[in-house]
Amino acid sequence: MRSLMLISTVALGLAACALPAPPPSAPPPEVAANAASALPTAALLDPYVGRYVSGGDAIVVRRTGNCLVAERGGQAPTPLTLVGLATFADLAGGAFLFDRAGGGGSTRLTLIAANGTRREWMR
**Which has the closest alpha carbon to 122: 98, 88, 95?**
98
pLDDT computed for residue 73 by the predictor: 84
64 versus 73: the higher-pLDDT residue is 64
Judgement on whether residues 48 and 103 belong to the same structural domain of the protein: yes
Secondary element (H or E) of residue 66? none
Judgement on whether residues 104 and 48 belong to the same structural domain of the protein: yes
% residues pLDDT > 90 (the chain): 49
Q: What is the rounded average pLDDT of the residues 37-63?
A: 90
Report pLDDT digits (tens) over 25-38. Answer: 666 665 555 555 56
pLDDT computed for residue 11 by the predictor: 45
Number of domains within the chain: 2
What is the longest distance spanned by two Cα atoms in the chain? 83
Judgement on whether residues 47 and 104 belong to the same structural domain of the protein: yes
Residue 10: domain span: 2-36
Q: What is the rounded average pLDDT of the residues 71-93?
A: 92
